[in-house]
Amino acid sequence: MKEYIQGKAYVVGDNIDTDQIIPANYLVYSLSDPDERKYYGRYALSSVPEKEAGLPKGNIPFVKAGKDSSEFSIIIAGKNFGCGSSREHAPVALQIAGVEAVIAESYARIFYRNSVDGGFFIPFETPIRLIDQIATGDELRLDISSATLLNISSGKEYKLKSLGEIYGILEAGDIFEYARRSGLIKAG
């Protein structure tokens, strides 16, 4: 696992559900086909209403037209990020678009599990409402082991909640490697 993640922030509000993260009509594309897989990056977060896309100003698409990945690698979200369907296509779409970490006030549990168990990106929780303090486009630096976030653009630093019990799975890479290390999957 990396020690630091540095990148640009993309800020969204509360209750961003999996249909907004990846609309259901794109789920027919195959994740194992390298060409079709790109569509998940292209359409990531494409159903967030324009006004709320890239706060505080809005009207900032997460992925620019014609691109398959995003210039933003850290998502700052409000409450209940990832609510709705259990589709793993949602965290995968964010990963394909280039997201390395999400920092939300809280998550819907299936989305959170999927992110951790699939090793798609690191889901941090924040005790304060960062969406009011960070703007889309700010340059951020996330220190993973100390769970601290530095907003390079504003110079402010924030303490996030520690990753706790999921750290073991994130460090292993995914739930399969974790299960192997715990002796639940026999080698061979």
Interface residue list for other proteins (CB under 8 A): 15, 17, 19-20, 23-25, 27-32, 36, 47, 49, 79-80, 83-89, 91, 106, 108-110, 113-114, 117-118, 165, 174-176, 179, 184-185
Residue 71: how many CB atoms within 10 A of its CB? Answer: 14
Q: Is the peptide bond before 56 cis (omega within 30 degrees of 0)?
A: yes
Instruction: State the nearest-atom distance from the C-beta of 166 to other proteins, in Å.
Output: 9
Nearer to other proteins, 86 or 153 (CB): 86
Instruction: State the nearest-atom distance from the C-beta of 156 to other proteins, in Å.
Output: 27
Nearer to other proteins, 73 or 115 (CB): 115
Instruction: State the nearest-atom distance from the C-beta of 128 to other proteins, in Å.
Output: 17
Instruction: State the nearest-atom distance from the C-beta of 66 to other proteins, in Å.
Output: 20
Nearer to other proteins, 30 or 154 (CB): 30
Q: What 8-state DSSP symbol labels residue 130? A: G
Task: Kindly state the tokens that stand for 62.
Answer: 């997460």
Nearer to other proteins, 50 or 157 (CB): 50
Q: What is the DSSP string of 163-181?
A: -GGGHHHHHHSSHHHHHHH
Task: Kindly state the tokens that stand for 150.
Answer: 């530095």
- For 117-126, letters b (16+ CB in 10 Å) and e give bbbbbbbbbb
